[in-house]
Amino acid sequence: MRKLLDRSTKRQLIGTGVATVVLLLLALVFPNSYVAAFAFQLMTWIVLAMSWSLFSGNSGYASFGHGVFFGIGTYIAAAVLKINGMPFGVALLAAGLAAGALALVVGLAVFSSPRFAGDLFGLITLALAFITMTVVSNTEWLDGGTGVFVRELVAGSWIGASTVNLYLVATLIAGFTAIVAILAWKTRWGAALQAIRDDEHVAESLGVATYRQKVLAFAASGALAGLIGAPQAVFLGYIEVGSVFALNIPLFVLMMVILGGIGRWWGAVIGAVVVVVLRETLLGLGSADMAQIVVGLALIIVIIVMPHGISGFFVRLRERTRRKEGVAA
Question: Does any domain span residue 1?
Answer: no
Query: Which tops the pLDDT comparison, 264 or 37?
Result: 37
With CA atoms as reference, report the closest residue to 272 among 202, 205, 165, 174: 174
What residues does 114 pair with on adjacent strands?
Answer: none
**pLDDT at residue 2 greater than cutoff 70:** no
Considering only the C-alpha atoms of the chain, give the largest distance between any 2 of them, rounded to a whole number of Å.
Answer: 71
CB distance 177 to 49 below 8 Å: no
pLDDT recorded at residue 325 = 67
Residues 196 and 232 in one domain: yes
C-alpha 12/C-alpha 82 separation (Å) is 40
The DSSP annotation for 197-257 comes to HH-HHHHHHTT--HHHHHHHHHHHHHHHHHHHHHHHHHHHSEE-HHHHT-THHHHHHHHHH
* Share above pLDDT 70 across residues of the chain, in percent, rounded to a whole number: 95
> 182 Cβ partners below 8 Å, 6+ apart?
9, 12, 13, 16, 265
Encode pLDDT of 91-133 as tens digits.
999 999 999 999 999 999 999 888 877 778 888 998 998 899 9
> 268 Cβ partners below 8 Å, 6+ apart?
46, 49, 50, 52, 53, 57, 181, 256, 257, 260
Query: Which among 224, 246, 268 is the end of a domain?
Result: 246
Tally of domains in the chain: 2
Residues 279 and 213 in one domain: no
For the entire predicted model, the pTM comes to: 0.92
Residues 91 and 224 in one domain: yes
CB atoms within 10 A of CB 151: 13
Cα distances from 35 to residues 40, 189, 233, 255, in angstroms, run 9, 37, 19, 24
Residues 306 and 233 in one domain: no
* Element counts in the chain: helices (H) and strands (E): 16, 2
248-261: buried (b, 16+ CB within 10 Å) or exposed (e) per residue?
Answer: ebbebbbbbbbbbb
Residues 142 and 204 in one domain: yes
Amino acid present at 62: A
Query: Which among 230, 246, 262 is the end of a domain?
Result: 246
Q: Which domain holds residue 231?
A: 7-246
The confidence band for 310, taking pLDDT boundaries of 50, 70 and 90, is: confident
Residues 143 and 252 in one domain: no
